[in-house]
Structure 1
Amino acid sequence: MISKSKGKNLNIAYIGGGSRGWAWGLMSDLALEKKLSGTVKLYDIDYNAAYKNEIIGNRLYDREDVAGKWKYKAVKTMEEALIGSDFVIISVLPGTFEEMQSDVHEPEKYGIYQSVGDTVGPGGLVRAIRTIPIFVDIAKQIKRYAPKAWVINYTNPMSLCVRTLYETFPEIKAIGCCHEVFGTQKLLASMLEELEGIEGVDYKDVKVNVLGINHYTWIDKASYKDIDLFPLYKEFVNKYYEEGFEGTEKGHWMNNHFASANRVKFDLFKKFGLIAAAGDRHLAEFMPNSWYLKSPEKVREWKFGLTNVQWRKDHRQELLEKGDRLVEGKEEFILETTGEDGVAMIKALLGLGDLVTNVNLPNNGQIQGLPTNSVVETNALFTFDSIQPVVAGQLPTPIQNMVLTHIHNQETTLQAALSKDKGLALQAFVQDPLVNLTPEHASELFEKMLFNTQRYLEGWNIEQTVSI
């Protein structure tokens, strides 16, 4: 039970506290929020990275433009971070960019292209196998040292991370937090300006009903004030289907790995009648290989990009250098809101105003037709020390069937990882819609990818021969 009064003297445990992305974003959001203050304990397997963030975070305390006063402390054990924590934030990289290189690019040798490679597809499955043991350990330690804390996870594969937390510690108070739906709300706000001339719409005022699983979410109701947005969206899709829509950033998708022209969204609306509510890069990976990811040329036709892991490596080096400049005081930390709802969630759980936003939670009836306890994404109501998922209804049968395929595959992956069962993992691997290979080639690719990540597979019999 949260006992802190008015958001003061809070204790936050940050697992993955050496992060150069999410951690800096949290620092900025906390610094701009005047109603919260306290201590953030930073735990990371790279203690030096966490210690640098301690220095960076503490430099903010005395700045005049900082409203929220926080102390940062790097710690050497997860136990130290968790003891006494009111909230736990998780953002970790499971493995290194070398393993990610294999996840994303090894399948390309077999004609399988992935635009992200962290949730589904061959890369998502192998990443999950690395990630699940990490989250088993995190859940066990939370159970022992901070069983009443609220836990906010940002790590992918989101559904399986949250599912693992609850499988290991059923009483945990954990959610998965993802900003993909916000992007679709912003698109709908742009649509209102484009078609109706309504300027300055805050995406948070675009009300949507969210159903699905992380990165494969759908909207069946959308409104702004008294305007039903579905007829407008149909008009919008018809108008921009061929060229796509990017607002003022036309062509941005060609030089930004994370941008798109929303053509995949538009195509899925034409096919299924609901608004697909994630980025095109994610949505494409849930569909059959031939639809959007058949080749790099096909990807360009749909106007999104394949995120090359070398870019991530280069970007990481840039962030490392920036971190050193921040530590040495050679560069000023710029405060800007991230657009994430993490801090707003913390405020609501402390009783500082209710919040409705999309989150990932075990299914206890909020989506009909999907398995109980599978992790689904819907809206939820945050109030004092409480999160109640909003009953979202049921997906149309064609979409439900596609979602179920991925839910069952994720459950098979979870059981394979927990039991270290290579044969079961292969069965999940070959059933993914992106793996359009012969059984022989699928088994061959699976063996190569597991070999490349074997240092994270303690207790697995990697030498075991398995086949389909």
Structure 2
Amino acid sequence: MNFKKDKVYDLNIAYIGGGSQGWAWGLMSDLALEPSLNGRVRLYDIDHKAAENNAIIGNELNKRDDVKSQWHYVKSDSLKDALTGADFVVISILPGTFDEMDSDVHTPEDYGIYQSVGDTVGPGGIIRALRTLPMYEEIALAIKEYSKDAWVINFTNPMTLCTRMLYKTFPEIKAFGNCHEVFGTQKLLISALKDICDIDDVKREEIKVDVVGINHFTWVTKATYKGMDLFPIYEQFVDKYYETGFVKEGDDNWMNNAFASGQRVKFELFKQYGYIAAAGDRHLAEACKGSWFLKSPDRVKDYTFGLTKVDYRKEKQKNLREKGLRLRNLEEQFEIKETGEEAVQQMRGILGLRDFVTNTNLPNKGQFSNLPKDVVVETNALFRRDRVMPITMGDMPMSLLGLTMPHVTNQELVIEAVTERDLKKAFRAFINDPNMKLDLHEARQLFNKMVKNTEKYLPDYFKNVEV
């Protein structure tokens, strides 16, 4: 990377999954609004046409008066081309297609198992991991060969397992995983301040939180606003909306938006454990026992959230592809706006332009003294020049440890299964999941069916094997 006299960095960014119609566009927008960074973005995607379209869309931004920086976007046809000389590597890929995700999410419903997301834990999360982690082995080896000193930012789910596989394959990698779930809980605390204390105009960054846990099962153990303890305020807020749920005025109601909720899962967990559950309700529900929140579709409605159907995702993908063509052909103007994601600010921290603290996913190097070393955990970290320093939290509270440890051990078992090419170990993780309530015969039947449905994207050693 080159530091110019006018204090504007000239960067090389490799984007793996660069044909994305979601994360890639968001990064383009955030980069366009950051005046301290300029450079090149190499877009690599197995869908070469999608990457080429995004390169055209990105380069068109340079002609506009509302951009604050200049970026040259180019399609790369290989990982080698994309990664060589990269200062930062961004990864956001869809492992397989939504047809495979359809099986991940909906095949277990035939056995009475419901999932609200199906990309992190549960039967769907585990099967998704089987096709994702071999891809991450390949990516990690390519980074080792072509850009070993680059900083790597992962957005792909299952977040914990993807980040863990990067380090398992290339221990010296400088990678971290980004997730915005905690941001939603900071915004919920802003709503509590307004509702209980009539305090307005609070920025999310002013809500300071201590984050503990693993991705999509995070908790806040301390929360303050200008030194004010927010736990008593949140407790009043929970009591007020425990029965009805809470929807902020102007936001989509959970009944009309598959990604929204009335926060009742959060409220229930706060009452039971005394800590603020910090992920979205859909993810929190999946990390708990299946009988708690996902026992049936009616139970899901009682807790004011929804089961995100894959047909919804397919329709959204179709609409985004059509939008991408309109943007490419200049039939629609690209909207430049801050996304609320923090990758660009993390880059600025690593480049030494600012000190920056936010939650991120990193191997456990002492963040939690009562969790195994090297498992990937989510806590706050300080981003400072050429360093990302996770904040030590000591012991995870025992009540939260009891909920978290089954997932930690299960995720390590999935890593072993892929690394050792052992489908039987994958099945052990499958039946160990808290949402698995089948007998062994039914569990084998479901597992084999789901593996068969996704085998196109599994390496050879997984094909035509039944447990």
TM range (shorter): over 0.9
- What is the alpha-carbon distance in structure 1 between the residues aligned to residue 387 and residue 19 of structure 2? 29
Deviation at 1:18, TM superposition (A): 0.2
Q: Would you say the 8 A contact 2:90–2:154 is kept in 1?
A: yes
Provide, for residues 83-117 of structure 1, a one-character-per-residue CA deviation record: whole Å limited to 9, x for no partner. Answer: 11100000000000110000000000001110000
Q: Would you say the 8 A contact 1:4–1:350 is kept in 2?
A: no
Q: Would you say the 8 A contact 1:422–1:462 is kept in 2?
A: no
What is the TM-score with the length of structure 1 in the denominator?
0.98
Deviation at 1:62, TM superposition (A): 1.6
Confirm whether residue 382 of structure 1 aligns to residue 383 of structure 2.
yes
Q: How does 1:365-404 map to 2 (within 5 A)?
A: 365-404=366-405
What is the TM-score with the length of structure 2 in the denominator?
0.98
- What is the alpha-carbon distance in structure 1 between the residues aligned to residue 175 and residue 463 of structure 2? 32
- What is the alpha-carbon distance in structure 2 between the residues aligned to residue 364 and residue 4 of structure 1? 32
Provide, for residues 142-189 of structure 1, a one-character-per-residue CA deviation record: whole Å limited to 9, x for no partner. Answer: 000000000000000000000000000000000000000010011001
* Equivalent in the alignment of 1:156: 157
Deviation at 1:418, TM superposition (A): 1.6
Confirm whether residue 11 of structure 1 aligns to residue 12 of structure 2.
yes
- What is the alpha-carbon distance in structure 2 between the residues aligned to residue 52 and residue 155 of structure 1? 21
Q: Would you say the 8 A contact 1:211–1:395 is kept in 2?
A: yes
* Equivalent in the alignment of 1:228: 229
- What is the alpha-carbon distance in structure 2 between the residues aligned to residue 461 and residue 201 of structure 1? 51
- What is the alpha-carbon distance in structure 2 between the residues aligned to residue 457 and residue 264 of structure 1? 34
Question: Could you list the runs of 5+ residues in structure 1 that have no partner in the other structure?
Answer: none
Deviation at 1:8, TM superposition (A): 2.2
Confirm whether residue 176 of structure 1 aligns to residue 177 of structure 2.
yes
- What is the alpha-carbon distance in structure 2 between the residues aligned to residue 7 and residue 402 of structure 1? 46
Q: How does 1:257-272 map to 2 (within 5 A)?
A: 257-272=258-273
* Equivalent in the alignment of 2:50: 49
* Equivalent in the alignment of 1:315: 316
Confirm whether residue 255 of structure 1 aligns to residue 286 of structure 2.
no
Question: Could you list the runs of 5+ residues in structure 2 that have no partner in the other structure?
Answer: none
Residue 385 of structure 1 aligns with an amino acid whose one-letter code is: D
Secondary structure in structure 2 of the residue aligned to 1:339: coil
Residue identity (%): 55
Q: How does 1:220-369 map to 2 (within 5 A)?
A: 220-249=221-250, 252-369=253-370
Structure 1 pair 93/465, CA: closer, same or farther in 2 (3 Å)? closer
- What is the alpha-carbon distance in structure 2 between the residues aligned to residue 153 and residue 461 of structure 1? 25
* Equivalent in the alignment of 2:214: 213
Q: CA RMSD in A?
A: 1.1
Q: Would you say the 8 A contact 1:420–1:459 is kept in 2?
A: no
* Equivalent in the alignment of 2:432: 431
- What is the alpha-carbon distance in structure 2 between the residues aligned to residue 253 and residue 297 of structure 1? 14
Q: Would you say the 8 A contact 1:136–1:165 is kept in 2?
A: yes
Provide, for residues 270-328 of structure 1, a one-character-per-residue CA deviation record: whole Å limited to 9, x for no partner. Answer: 11111000000000001111100011111011000111101111111101110110011
Q: Would you say the 8 A contact 1:4–1:10 is kept in 2?
A: no
Secondary structure in structure 1 of the residue aligned to 2:378: strand
Deviation at 1:398, TM superposition (A): 2.1
- What is the alpha-carbon distance in structure 2 between the residues aligned to residue 40 and residue 306 of structure 1? 36
Structure 1 pair 250/25, CA: closer, same or farther in 2 (3 Å)? closer
Secondary structure in structure 2 of the residue aligned to 1:304: coil
* Equivalent in the alignment of 2:187: 186
* Equivalent in the alignment of 2:455: 454
- What is the alpha-carbon distance in structure 2 between the residues aligned to residue 159 and residue 461 of structure 1? 22
Q: How does 1:22-171 map to 2 (within 5 A)?
A: 22-171=23-172
Structure 1 pair 251/175, CA: closer, same or farther in 2 (3 Å)? closer
Residue 260 of structure 1 aligns with an amino acid whose one-letter code is: S
- What is the alpha-carbon distance in structure 2 between the residues aligned to residue 399 and residue 81 of structure 1? 41
